[in-house]
Amino acid sequence: MLSNLVQNHLDFIVFSCALLAERFFPLVTWYHPNTALIAIFSAIGKRTYRADETKSYHYLATILACSVIVSVLLIIVVLLLELAFYPELLAGLILYLCLESKALDKKALRIAKLLKQNQKSAARELLKPLVAREVTKLSAAGILKAVIESLILRTARYYFVVIFIFLVFGPIAALGYRLLTLIHSAWRNNVKPNSVFLGPLRVSLFIIEFIPMRLLALTIAASKASKQSLHYIKHYGRHYYQTNSGWLLSCCAASLGVQLGGPAVYFAERFNKMRIGSDRLPVAEDIAVIINRLNQARGFWFLVILGIEILTSI
């Protein structure tokens, strides 16, 4: 009877084990496969990008490069799944490698601790790998804004969106999305965020993230400051440079009662991004609060998934 129960719910058990493994046994950055992939994708981007070429070249180069990279890697993984004796376990491993959350929490809390000790230089150095913007001249409030925004958006993309795609479309789709985020992250280190070269990637990720990012935003809005969150979405989120991010940052800003967004410098050029909210500037303690909000969202959606699993098995 026990073996039948495990067999009937093997997918959910593997899914839960992957979440627990990422939570309690996260891979260290220096030996995570994503580190090697980002280095490879960055080298490909440098060889492909040519600033003096036309828009048509940039669009075509990006589409072809992304298609080749993702197709080759996904074909290899599909073949492995076909040959695997227990493909569910391999799917769980794929999910585990695609997820990234606990390591981000630790880095954010460490930056908060450094700022409490007035060690701004060390905090900036720790922040550098998390953002594409220039951080050398950021104030303490600017560092905290950048950390909170990066923590929110990275957790949304590398955890919630990955899980949504994994459950709805399967491990191959989740891996394909994660590869696109890695390519985008690697290429953003070499070109400006508004570059035409990144256009096809931005559009693809926007479409993929449209539903899960908004679901997460509404989940956070429902936990606290619901009216303020809806007000912020109406006045800020809908007009943000990227509306998926705008919705989520608006709800988080309302939940924390702080101001997020604002101008940022990329490659010595100032980009006047919209400020979200008119409340106080964030303080170090807000990092622990937003981590708690995101953990509450994790718990809520895990219970929803568990409930669906129980109902479908009846």
User: What is the pairing mode between strands 275-276 and 260-261?
Assistant: antiparallel
Q: What's the pTM?
A: 0.94
Parts of the chain with a pLDDT under 50? none
Half-sphere exposure (CA, 13 Å, Cβ side) for 72?
A: 5
| C-alpha distances out from residue 139 to 38, 120, 121, 146, 270, Å | 29, 8, 10, 10, 16
Instruction: Tell me what pLDDT residue 116 has.
Output: 92
* 100-131 pLDDT tens trace: 998 899 999 999 999 999 999 999 999 998 89
Going by C-alpha positions, the residue among 244, 255, 245 that lies closest to residue 211 is 244
Instruction: Tell me what pLDDT residue 156 has.
Output: 96
3-state secondary structure of 241: coil
Q: How far apart are CA 49 and CA 39, in angstroms?
A: 15
Both tokens of 48, joined, read 């492909």
Instruction: Tell me what pLDDT residue 5 has.
Output: 60
Instruction: Tell me what pLDDT residue 7 has.
Output: 65
